[in-house]
Amino acid sequence: MSFLKIRSCFSLLIFVPTFILFSVTVASAQGDKASAASGNQEMIQRGEELFKGNCTQCHAVHEKVVGPALTGITKRVPMAKIIKFVHNPAQLISVEKDKYFVDLYNEYKIEMTAFPGLSDNDIKSIVAYIESVPPPAPKSKADTGGDSGEVASSEPKKDYSELILVLTVITLILVAITLLVFITVIRKYLKDREDTLAEEDKELVNQKFDINAVIRSKGFIITVSVIFSMVAIRACWVGLMSIGIEQNYAPKQPIPFSHKLHAGDLKIDCGYCHTGVYKGKQANIPGVNICMNCHSVVKEGPVYGKAAIASLIDHYEKNKPIQWVRVHNLPDLAYFNHAQHTVVGGIECKTCHGQIDTMQVVRQHANLTMGWCINCHRETVVNAKGNAYYDRLLQFHESKKKGDMKVEDIGGLECSKCHY
């Protein structure tokens, strides 16, 4: 056994755990995407779309919101009457004075908006959808409904990674202790047989572990300084690269509006408030008149009580625009169009905005850097199926056979797609 071997053994014992600890800390975990489940029957699916687009502002299936809970509607009212009511509520309430609806009116003090644009089949689909929704599970489990599974599933994953970290540290400490024990035992054993050892080995065995010597050793100093400068450089680099990046920016808003409540619990479709998101460049922050569609009736919220809504109504009545704080700030030199991504690309809002339906306060989910855009354009397959615009491109792409047609394959990385 040579001196060098034993020596390097010591160094390893100290540095290996340090390295592992460091690298584990630096590594960051990434969230997973989960796919939303959807119904299989065509009618129910269409009903769901219509329900979310038209009804969720005031109705939920199993809860009273602005209007009554709709579950079991067919048992209470015949289909023909439902259709008639949806087309023209005023007729049944004010003219025909139908008892059921008059009672409802007296209870909720608001007449339902008429939907003359919905066909009989549309309304039947909506009813079919309502009937297909199972009653919510008992309170013991997560109470936010179907989507909560997604949220729940990501949480243990996070715990797991922490657990690995703790376990690794514990294991490494155990290994270090075991090794120390080994060394002590071996040394003792060798000391007992000191006579048989060579002179040099004797010296080594008798040598006391001198921490100062180790610290002053060249190897140690070089290694530490290299590590230190690497960490410093990396920190600088990360710092510099994050200038202007406002990821996780979650400013306080003048009115504490909760997306968790509106988009998550009440399941109001994003397009109901963000009117431009399927139409054009901007998603649009809704005008107060859109808020007032519901809040002329709903005056108290479950989280912030009456004050927040009172402030909203105050703005409306005093003709005072609300100065929201912009969360997502794309630089002026970049052109981004929502419709291109939501309608044409079929990208879900969550992909870029994160779990907006669980955010009490909206937070910038993605870092919105050019690298982030480009990366997605490199990975995303073009939603070309059934869109005649892409026919020529698909044909061309298939003739070249390179697998799926990604956005980058059709010029998605070219400057003038976003900069002009």
Greatest CA separation for the chain: 116
User: Which residue is associated with the tokens 């599933």?
Assistant: 153
Residue 391 binds to another protein (criterion: CB under 8 A): yes
Residue 344 binds to another protein (criterion: CB under 8 A): yes
What residues numbered 28-87 form the site for another protein, per CB under 8 A? none
Q: Are 250 and 327 in contact (CB under 8 A)?
A: yes
Q: What is the DSSP letter of 344?
A: I
Residue 401 binds to another protein (criterion: CB under 8 A): no
What residues numbered 234-253 form the site for another protein, per CB under 8 A? 243-244, 246, 249, 251
Calpha distance 158→161 (Å, rounded): 5
Interface residue with another protein among 51, 101, 129, 316 (CB under 8 A) is 316
Q: What is the DSSP letter of 390?
A: G
Residue 124 CB contacts under 8 Å (≥ 6 apart), including other chains: 43, 47, 79, 83
Calpha distance 21→326 (Å, rounded): 39
Residue 207: count of CB within 10 angstroms of its CB: 12
Closer Cβ to another protein, 107 or 317, answer by number: 317
Interface residue with another protein among 10, 160, 182, 396 (CB under 8 A) is 396
Calpha distance 330→314 (Å, rounded): 31
Closer Cβ to another protein, 31 or 287, answer by number: 287
Minimum distance from residue 257 beta carbon to another protein (Å): 12
Calpha distance 44→129 (Å, rounded): 5
Residue 288 binds to another protein (criterion: CB under 8 A): yes
Minimum distance from residue 41 beta carbon to another protein (Å): 25
Minimum distance from residue 157 beta carbon to another protein (Å): 31
User: Which residue is associated with the tokens 């549309």?
Assistant: 122
Closer Cβ to another protein, 36 or 333, answer by number: 333
Q: Are 217 and 210 in contact (CB under 8 A)?
A: no
- Which residue type occupies 280? G
Residue 416 binds to another protein (criterion: CB under 8 A): yes
Span from 46-54, 162-170, 303-311, 392-400 in contact with another protein (CB under 8 A): 392-400
Interface residue with another protein among 28, 319, 371, 403 (CB under 8 A) is 319
Calpha distance 73→53 (Å, rounded): 19
Span from 38-46, 69-77, 194-202, 275-283 in contact with another protein (CB under 8 A): 275-283
Quick one: tokens of 402? 């390179």
Closer Cβ to another protein, 123 or 410, answer by number: 410
Q: Are 59 and 65 in contact (CB under 8 A)?
A: yes
Residue 161 binds to another protein (criterion: CB under 8 A): no
Quick one: tokens of 33? 């995407």
Residue 329 binds to another protein (criterion: CB under 8 A): yes
Which residues make up the interface to another protein (CB under 8 A)?
243-244, 246, 249, 251, 275-276, 279-282, 284-290, 315-316, 319-326, 329, 332-333, 335, 337, 339-340, 343-344, 386-393, 396-397, 410-411, 414-417, 419-420
